[in-house]
């Protein structure tokens, strides 16, 4: 878990590099996330820009919009799934919130775990998506799932850093508009990059290479 916490902190520190890009991209992400149908594509754009910022110095805000445009259509079913999943989960929670008993407690635990898993798959998935030679949403989700299973304590540390960031942002609403999304993207990309490097799939970025290294996590 300590490794995950350190890598999560490294992701936050990454904001010091080209921080103004993260701020501008975060503003666009926040606005587009209000519209449920564009929320996944907005996260895809943010993840793509952060992915490139971790690997090459020439990344720009255009990379956010390219990630958004290229993935908008393929994320429409994902947006509908997310909305339906949230509605069902929240409705179930409200309906059974006051029910006592081991069975109902188990159901509530399952709903919470399901929310965390769905969040984590998309949180890490898009970072894998842009690192794959032949990107696909299912392949990216599979890679994220493999990472979570192979490195559960590492994943827990990363998600803990992300959770703390989101909790703090609840008390600082302006942070959601200016920084939170960009910080989450930086944390997710730092985590995926660390696991790719640990698996020997991707070299440490030196910013001296002309091309971004592409790989699939399950190539190991």
Q: What is the pLDDT of residue 204?
A: 60
Let me know how long the chain is.
Answer: 220
- Answer whether residue 185 shows pLDDT above 50: yes
**Residues 141-151 pLDDT 10s:** 999 999 999 99
CA dihedral sign, ordered 191, 87, 139, 57: negative
Predicted pLDDT at 205: 54
Instruction: Give the pLDDT band (50/70/90) at residue 102.
Output: confident
- Residue 1 CA from chain centroid, whole number: 18
Domain interval for residue 17? 2-219
pTM here is 0.87
Report, as an integer, the average pLDDT of 123-135: 94
- Look at residue 210 and tell me whether its pLDDT is greater than 70: no
Residue 39's nearest CA partner among 52, 28, 53 is 28
Task: Please tell me the predicted confidence (pLDDT) of residue 207.
Answer: 42
- Rounded (to 5) percent helix, strand, coil in the chain: 80, 0, 20
Taking the C-alpha atoms of residue 152 and residue 149, their distance in angstroms, rounded to an integer, is 6
Q: How many domains does the chain have?
A: 1
Tens of pLDDT, residues 9-45: 999 999 887 888 999 999 999 999 998 899 999 999 9
């Amino acid at each position: 878990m300590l490794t995950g916490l350190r890598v999560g902190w490294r992701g936050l520190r990454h904001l010091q590099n080209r921080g103004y890009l993260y701020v501008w991209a975060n503003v666009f992400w926040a606005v587009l996330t209000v519209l449920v149908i564009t929320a996944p594509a907005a996260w895809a754009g943010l993840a793509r820009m952060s992915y490139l910022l971790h690997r090459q110095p020439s990344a720009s805000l255009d990379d956010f919009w390219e990630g958004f445009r290229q993935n908008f259509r393929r994320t429409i079913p994902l947006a509908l799934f997310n909305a339906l999943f949230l509605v069902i989960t929240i409705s179930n929670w409200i309906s059974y919130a006051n029910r006592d008993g081991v069975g109902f407690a188990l159901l509530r635990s399952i709903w919470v775990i399901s929310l965390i898993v769905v969040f984590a798959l998309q949180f890490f998935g898009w970072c894998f998506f842009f690192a794959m030679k032949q990107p696909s949403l299912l392949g990216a989700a599979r890679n994220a799932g493999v990472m979570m299973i192979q490195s559960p304590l590492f994943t827990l540390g990363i998600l803990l850093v992300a959770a703390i960031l989101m909790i703090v942002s609840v008390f600082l609403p302006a942070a959601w508009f200016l920084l939170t999304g960009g910080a989450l993207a930086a944390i997710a990309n730092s985590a995926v990059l660390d696991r790719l490097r640990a698996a020997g799939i991707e070299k440490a970025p030196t910013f001296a290479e002309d091309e971004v290294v592409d790989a699939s996590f399950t190539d190991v």
